[in-house]
Structure 1
């Protein structure tokens, strides 16, 4: 027999030993560290893990020690909640989310071992309580299930928030925090304890369909917006009725797939992984203490993420101190066997994933196949018991942290207060307003006068609300551009045409004073698994655009889309262009307010717009040898085009203008950990009040490894009245100057640096400074 301490908690390991590796049903032998409570003349023993006044880790160790191997493995499995509901009937055997609970199906599904987590239900509070009660009452240790659902930019039929790409375009972390908080509150009120958000992949290839889910191409901006979202969702404590576990995904580097196709290989080395891709995740884990993550589908340099202990154990857990749960993406473990072929069977794939640092499968394999595989591998010695204990501990830690062992049920009345509450709707509208990016405004075409008599609203996106993926367009208020314009200009004659008949649309345009053209994409050509080889306007939209523009009427192009589009012709010929992305249920209102001047646009691009697909990759923070020819003064060109972007990262216009001056940089003293201070003055030089997004970029002029031509290191969004000046100081942490050097270590090497400040990544107000290492 092999006697050893079950887990390294010094306060406990002196008190008990655990028997492992003996038989399937072996359990830890515990002394009676429990309380006896007298009730109605009877004495009830309250076990350590049931005592809410004890430290979490003490309770966790006690529970883990009482569990059989089968019970531990059950915690690593993911169940579809609809599988416990009654069928709808013979014509359609699948249950609906409104179907009643079936005790017979629950017994067949969960049995007496409970469930690790439940998904794909978006339960009502009553539904959650019914299923949770059944799970708790039918497993030996009364372990609750963790309900997990989507929460990318809204929960179920609740408030529909703008897409993450919109959220990032606000450059306002406070809105990201409020969004995360609102989604969490609506989810938790139904019993859901964890949401599959935010997405912190870097949007490095706009052909990829999931660009809309990201915060953009920059690691610093993505890191700050992700941190804010996590803080909003998780709050100060998860043991509340309004906070949930956030799950930054897809860990890691999922946004740079080969060919721009979803789940394809990622070809980067460790320096780029650490210096760029992981930088977008690190703040969420190290500062925001995110309690979960999703291991991605793809492989990095030939090693699938779900089989990469260096990424999931060494970096995530050991270096970053992560104590939460790693959930595999749906199908990611199966791919180890079927696609990557680094495992020879479902059993081998399942055990390899858990051994590598995954804690829960996303029902890749049938439950009996997955669970039996892990049990067999433990007994065969190919999967250490310690890895099963680590994984089970991660899942159970979340349940303790959420308070599910002490308050497993929800008060149904909370849902009515949280669901689509006015504060949540207000956040959605604020985010939509702040996210709109004015790309062009020739001769001050915008804002329109409200005295305009005849307006033509034309296009396939003009009379629908485009939400993007992971939201149903039937949800929310779905205010379209047409509805917004009618509300904003109630005295105007507003004509609509979908543009399917181009000649009819042209006729309506000719009779109007101005034309608002709603073009772009929609769910089905943008979103998960909807990758494109072309970034042109889809279908006949380019023809419609050119025909409407040929009328010589003032034309405003409003884009609702999930990725940058190659709109070079529009930039050259259309009077004004507004990028709205997928602006949520209030999108049409925010767009109309912007067109008529009630909202001064201040959104800024978080992803570069290329002129052609042939320029991809075209992110701004490339290395000098990609951007320049022989030195840093001459940009590379193609035979048939230059290499300049159509619109650069950080770009966006306003109805006013801004001026920067008086840039000062104060470096820290030698060998200190102080920040670099960057001080400058920004002035609203126009006649309208507006927000400016001030951006600070940095480059180390000479270093031991090549570094980007410039990198975003700080930013702030601030309101300024006409002619108002403000002196601003932003800090660059010393750690942001570190490079992953040739010795594979982080080092601040010192030397000469350049700082740029302005309103985009092409800011030209610069200052050099020297830093002593």
Structure 2
């Protein structure tokens, strides 16, 4: 099939046998790797004989870029000390780019086509694989996920777990796949199948909750939606993370930061955290990503595991994943394990997440990651270090070839060598299509959980007082009053509590620390209950201690990524929530602090257990 970009049509030729092909090396002849009739294995084998060390090394880096609104491939770096997309593709020959901020659909399609046109000018025309973190939900954290914006908005992944319906998850994957394809995004740096067993951990909103069996069922449906039965030109390749399970963090701290490097298993539940990854491997996930954490005091089959970050750990990547679990797909390290980083304005930094390898040089870190069995270095662009290691004999080129073959196979399976271009008009038509937006809204409603019966709410209240919601979302369904005393119903929307931190770059995006609400917030909300019937809607990106509100007469609901419209549809009786809690809600922080981080449902006398939903009596 010829490229859809008119500017790239010149690289499409017709062979003597009538086969249309892209002349990627510009020699006027259809080489085997350019022949769309051949198998992926045949095309990879041919291309590997032609590639330089620099081209193979470029395949092994997967780094970040910003898509520009003018549709041009900029050389502006994403942060100090880095280079821009033009040099990444045209100079360093890096062909896996993780897109962070994006412009509108038309501009994004135009930019991605320009990236592919630049890649086509490389010695063998290896196309670029564009990837993204989740961007169909509401959680926005530059290191983990992006809010939906132009795309259809669905509940965050934890909300899909609250619904618990594999068919719905499969449908979500299919819709997200279509929108990604229209934009030229061909790899998803998700799903996360970490188990949410440590209530304080900040990444729970991107998981399927604490139940390993449920996570295993839902990840299969997720992969089916994005990848299909097998990778093909209509697929988005998924990188499932964070192997072998990133949930059991010491004190719930995240290993993006030095204070969160330890991953612990006091309850001996390592295998339980591994189970969803077994399901993902069996379902054909195109890639896996290890986490940053250091396994503390961990033994597997009687063998002590080295206390070094999972991405550096040969016992975990080669011994466990490759050999024991038989996984032969792509393994990509998590972002930034080699190089310290500065924020875009240079105001603060973040050390390389080289936990357990802090004393190693950058060359030594790259060597350890490759020797561990990783195929790609995420968030890095230090191609020259890998080339040095091969040329010095520290890493055999045959080891680089092993990873290059895996990475090329995914590109060929996705059809990128035959047509990496997209239509700007199609992008505008598909991304945020009304039917997709409507499905996402319905899922937002379904994912909400009634924690107390909804029958205490007045039926069709005439006057509302809103706290934390946009009055425009009411859409004329009731009169909005400023004075709570004039209201028939007060609706309060609040996020789960967290402790603000701002020492390191990206730290403010991680909601960590205590799960207790501030005393002032509790007093303010309970004061409203005394004035009029009150509904409290809590956004649970992780658990919250709701004990102060339980016996107050307040109506409690939980949401897991929802618009104000979805919230008010439920509160005002226009829609019914169907969700069940995907994790326990602890009764107190004391119970959290004495629980085992790797054991689901381990907080004593929980206020609400996973799977709970109040009976709907209205």
Please give the range of the TM-score, normalised by the shorter of the 2 chains. 0.7 to 0.9
Q: 2:289 aligns with which of 294, 297, 303?
A: 294
SS in structure 1 at match of 2:120 = helix
State the superposition RMSD in angstroms.
3.2
Deviation at 1:113, TM superposition (A): 6.0
Is the 2:195–2:212 contact (alpha carbons within 8 Å) kept by the matching residues of 1?
Answer: yes
TM, length-normalised to structure 1: 0.65
- Cα distance 1:413–1:425, how it changes in 2: closer, same or farther (>3 A)? same
In 2, distance between residues paired with 1:51 and 1:580?
A: 50
SS at match of 1:124: helix
1:278 to 265, 274, 280: 274
Structure number with greater CO (CA < 8 Å, separation at least 6) is 2
User: CA separation in 1, counterparts of 2:44 and 2:156?
Assistant: 37
Counterparts of 2:33 and 2:40, CA distance in 1: 8
User: What residue is the counterpart of 2:319 in the other structure?
Assistant: 314
Q: For the residues of structure 2 that align with 1:43 and 1:284, how far apart are their CA atoms?
A: 41
From the superposition, tell whether residues 112 and 438 of structure 1 become closer, same or farther in structure 2 (CA, over 3 Å): closer
Question: Would the alpha carbon gap of residues 296 and 109 (structure 1) be closer, same or farther in structure 2, given more than 3 Å must change?
Answer: same
Q: CA deviation at 1:135?
A: 1.2
1:462 aligns with 2:469: yes
- How big is the shift at 1:231? 1.2
In the TM superposition, what whole-angstrom CA distance separates every residue of 1:742-763 from its partner, at most 9, and x where no partner exists?
xxxxxxxxxxxxxxxxxxxxxx
Stretches of structure 2 that go unaligned for 5 or more consecutive residues are 1-14, 20-25, 77-83, 138-147, 297-306, 340-350, 502-506
Is 1:170–1:604's contact at 8 Å kept on the other side of the alignment?
yes
Return the alpha-carbon distance in structure 2 between the equivalents of residues 493 and 43 of structure 1: 71
The answer for the alignment partner of 1:405 in structure 2 is 417
- Give the CA deviation at 1:647: 0.5
Match of 1:550 among 500, 511, 530: 530
Q: CA deviation at 1:103?
A: 8.5
Pick the aligned partner of 2:333 from 328, 332, 349: 328
Question: Structure 1 stretch 122-131 or stretch 57-66: which is displaced more?
Answer: 122-131
- CA 1:125–1:539: 2 relative to 1, 3 Å: farther
CA drift of 1:72 comes to 0.8
- C-alpha separation between the residues in 1 aligned to 2:469 and 2:579? 21
What's 2:578 paired with?
A: 602
Residue 48 of structure 2 is matched in structure 1 by 64
The CA deviation string for residues 384-427 of structure 1, in whole angstroms up to 9 with x for no partner, is 33321122122111111110111121232321221111231122
**Which secondary structure does the structure 2 equivalent of 1:250 belong to?**
strand
2:207 maps to 1:214: yes
Report which stretch shifted further, 559-568 or 346-355: 559-568
Aligned residue number for residue 125 of structure 2: 142
Cα separation, 2, equivalents of 1:567 and 1:270: 26
CA contact (8 A) 1:336 1:343 kept: no
Is residue 333–residue 353 contact of structure 1 (8 Å, CA) maintained in 2?
Answer: no
From 636, 649, 674, the equivalent of 2:610 is 649
1:266 corresponds to which residue?
263
Name the CA distance, whole Å, in 2 between partners of 1:377 and 1:620: 39
Deviation at 1:68, TM superposition (A): 2.1
Query: Is the contact between residue 520 and residue 537 of structure 1 (CA under 8 Å) also seen in structure 2?
Result: no
Is 2:456 the partner of 1:445? yes
Q: 1:317 to 1:233 in 2, by over 3 A?
A: same
Q: CA contact under 8 A between 2:170 and 2:225: conserved in structure 1?
A: yes
Rounded to whole Å, the distance in 2 between the matches of 1:653 and 1:240 is 45
Alignment of 1:97-246 (within 5 A): 97-98=69-70, 100-101=72-73, 108-111=87-90, 114-120=93-99, 122=102, 124-137=108-121, 139-153=122-136, 157-241=150-234, 243-246=235-238
What is the alpha-carbon distance in structure 1 between the residues aligned to residue 200 and residue 494 of structure 2? 18
3-state DSSP class of the match of 1:315? helix
Contact 1:559 1:578 in 2 (8 A): yes
Q: Are the counterparts in 2 of residues 304 and 336 from structure 1 also a CA contact under 8 Å?
A: no
**Alignment partners' CA distance in 1, 2:615 and 2:474:** 20
Alignment of 1:28-39 (within 5 A): none
Would you say the 8 A contact 1:262–1:531 is kept in 2?
A: no
Question: What is the distance in 1 between the residues matched to 2:584 and 2:497?
Answer: 20
Query: What is the alpha-carbon distance in structure 2 between the residues aligned to residue 43 and residue 340 of structure 1?
Result: 49
Determine the C-alpha separation between the residues in 2 that align with 1:614 and 1:216: 21
For 1:268-315, what per-residue CA distance to the aligned partner results, in whole angstroms no more than 9, with x for missing partners? 3896222x111122212212x110122211111223111122322233
Task: Please name the residue that 1:74 is paired with.
Answer: 58
Cross-structure match for 2:241: 249
Q: Kindly tell me: are residues 234 and 537 of structure 1, through their superposed partners in 2, closer, same or farther at Cα, counting changes over 3 Å? A: same
Please report how far the alpha carbon of residue 381 of structure 1 lies from its aligned counterpart in structure 2 after TM superposition. Answer: 3.5
Instruction: Deviation per CA, 1:109-129: give whole Å up to 9, x if none.
Output: 434663221223546111111
Q: Secondary structure in 1 aligned to 2:289? A: strand
Once residues 456 and 337 of structure 1 are traced to their aligned partners in structure 2, the CA distance between those partners, rounded to angstroms, is: 46
* 1:694-773 equivalences in 2 (<5 Å): none
TM-superposed deviation, 1:60: 1.0
Asked if structure 1 preserves the Cα contact closer than 8 Å seen for 2:338 and 2:354, the reply is no
Q: Distance in 2 between matches of 1:294 and 1:539?
A: 40
Cα distance, 1:429 vs. partner?
1.4
Q: After the TM superposition, which of the residue ranges 644-653 and 300-309 deviates more from structure 2?
A: 300-309
3-state SS of paired residue (1:515): strand
CA distance in 2: counterparts of 1:111 and 1:620, whole angstroms:
46
Contact 1:605–1:649 under 8 Å retained in 2? yes
Contiguous gaps of at least 5 residues in structure 1: 1-34, 86-95, 464-481, 497-507, 628-642, 657-687, 689-773
Aligned equivalents of 1:134 and 1:623: distance in 2? 49
| Equivalent residues of 1:202, 1:253 under 8 A apart | yes
- 1:66 is paired with a residue whose SS is coil
CA contact (8 A) 2:211 2:600 kept: no
For the 8 Å contact 1:233–1:244, the answer to whether it is kept is yes
